Amino acid sequence: MHLSELTHPNQLHGLSIYQLQQIARQLREKHLQTIAASGGHLGPGLGVVELTLALYQTLDLDRDKVTWDVGHQAYPHKLLTGRYARFHTLRQKDGVAGYLKRSESKFDHFGAGHASTSISSALGMALARDRKGETHKVVAVIGDGALTGGMALEAINHAGHLPKTNLLVVLNDNEMSISPNVGAIPRYLNKMRLSAPVQFISENLEEQFKQLPFVGESLAPELERVKESMKRLAVPKVGAVFEELGFTYMGPIDGHNLQELITTFQQAHKHTGPVLVHVVTTKGKGYEIAEKDQVGYHAQSPFNLATGKAAPSSKPKPPGYSKVFGDTLTKLAENNPKIIGITAAMATGTGLDILQKQLPEQYIDVGIAEQHAVTLAAGLACEGMRPVVTIYSTFLQRGFDQIVHDVCIQDLPVFFCIDRAGIVGADGPTHQGMYDIAYLRCIPNMVLMAPKDEAELQRMIVTGIDHTGPIALRYPRGNGYGAPLMEEGWEPLPIGKGEIIRNGDDVLLVGYGSMVYPSMQVAEILSEHGIEATVINARFAKPLDTELILPLAQSIGRVVTLEEGCLPGGFGSAIAEALLDADISVPLTRIGIPDKLVDHATPEESKADLGLTPPQMADRILKLFSKQPLTVGV
């Protein structure tokens, strides 16, 4: 059977190990060819090919439910569940999503994109099954990286308290999430995996049994049972934590041995209550380049399969915001030992890997634990440190209560650096960074700022370090504009002060962060139609520079706000509130992301769909002028 003929995972039933191995090879080939052509997550899916095949051969996917944590590793799942023919559209507009999506397939039983949700959702499904008197199986597949998240541990704690609720948790242990895992739990798993008795038994026991007279190859099933029993006797601590929490523990087993996987899953399904199967896999399995560089090949832009290298760019690009951030923070930290950079398992993505390499004592990775990261920073701030919490906008949402309760109520100097703010592209609605302005603006004591370019980012980093209370800096994914950077000597910005960067008498454009340069482009287009705009770089969403904005709004008589964030509660709402509070009644148009989910596509495609390109925004303003002619000075 060829992979292209598989339209339903139940077609795996009854296939031999040899047939499954052939499909495994085809899965890796299709996976590699697709990611090499269009980009996407590479290492995670390659590592779980055999795990997926073995698990699905033991399930009836017309009835049974499987939740995949995060979804990085779910590409083999997608290929086995009817999406082979469309897989070349992966992460492209109107194509196959890069993460699990309930609306895409009946086999995507639970949508995901953030870590550590699989066990909670699976347990909910299992409890619903029991209440309805049904008997199907429910499985959660979670990586050891996601197991560092508190939510996963909360779910394990709850599940272990329900001895009659059948739930299978498959722990995909590859020592990695996106970067190498940190913390006591991964260290414990590694200790189990590399335990000398386990290694000795796994490698030597079978050969010794085969040497016994009259035994040879004839005791294979019995031999497996003896091996498992001996493992438990030799290593009483293996799985002890999970057993104490109420789970039946099985493993660790070889995640690339189909027969061992199938046998173990079959045994696991027979148990009553929660079961955890510990599977050891190699991230990037089958592609040597990815196996050797598991961080670099977690995800890839289009690349050459033979060399593993990305296609060369046609022209050099300005540095990315994340790199400018990492370089600048590291230079400041060299002269200020109180600066502590904090990441939640995203050192490379946030640019904090630069700090990690140069000043490891001033760097902390807490694992996938955003709530802990925020409150840890609050504790550091209490003792005079200058913690810099660097988390993607979409992930900082997970620490909202800690921002309110532990940082802002106590007015502590914690500096939040919010990477990937705005539209992020192919990762889709689970990763769009469009809510941070709205969810932070409402919190007392918080200061919000966003730079117009990478040079202003440098000054805002100094501003954040110097500030004596909670402060947040948002900046977009991708490259800057090529603004000249300084190596040192950056000056802080006055809190709550914007700047005028263009003058005109017909309309006031107030841009925030990544929308300032587009505001200038809009102004140029309007000028071609005889409409002259004043453009303000707001710099701060809170506090607003009302001394600058309000008099101009009143004198010019028409205001347009531009932001790369959600309109409800966003920057434009802040301007509207300020005008209302000052009893200034002028036409106001808010341009930003409407109250809708933004699906996966390139950022350029998403902005075009939302009407956020400069020509579209200018056209919208021109139409407003034609509907409501402005009489200046009346």
Dump the DSSP string for 28-60: HHHHHHHHHHH-EE-HHHHHTHHHHHHHHHTS-
Is 238 in a helix, a strand, or coil? coil
**Encoding tokens for residue 29?**
């080939």
Residue 321 tokens, joined:
């915001």
Please name the residue that has the structure tokens 């913690």.
387
Interatomic CA distance for residues 285 and 392, integer angstroms: 28
Distance separating alpha carbons of residues 448 and 416, to the nearest angstrom: 9
> Is beta strand 533-537 parallel, antiparallel or unpaired with respect to 507-511?
parallel
Whether 309 sits among the annotated catalytic residues: the reply is no
Of the candidates 620, 622, 511, 486, the one whose C-alpha atom is nearest the C-alpha of residue 565 is: 511
Helix and strand element counts for the chain (H, E): 26, 19
> CA 380 to CA 383: how far, in whole Å?
5
β partners of residue 82: none
Q: In whole angstroms, what is the distance from residue 587 CA to residue 576 CA?
A: 10
Catalytic residue among 91, 129, 231, 398: 398
Query: Starting from the edge strand earliest in sequence, which strands make up the sheet with 588-593, in order?
Result: 499-502, 533-537, 507-511, 559-566, 588-593
Burial of 122: CB neighbours in 10 Å, binned 0-12, 13-18, 19+: buried
Report the distance separating Cα 526 and Cα 560, nearest Å: 13
Q: Is 370 a catalytic residue?
A: yes
Q: In the chain, helix, strand, coil percent, each to 5?
A: 45, 15, 40
| CA–CA distance, 318 with 482 (Å, rounded to integer) | 5
What would you report as the CA-atom Rg of the chain, rounded to the nearest whole angstrom?
A: 27
The catalytic position among 370, 454, 563, 564 is 370
Structure tokens at 271: 């148990």
CB 13 within 8 A of CB 251: no
Task: Identify the CA nearest to 607 among candidates 514, 540, 497.
Answer: 514
- In 217-308, which ranges are continuous DSSP H helix? 220-234, 240-244, 258-270, 288-292
SS3 536: strand
398 is catalytic: yes
End-to-end CA distance of the chain: 78
Rounded Cα gap, residues 11 and 440, in angstroms:
49
Catalytic residue among 101, 283, 474, 558: 283
- Residues belonging to the active site: 283, 370, 398
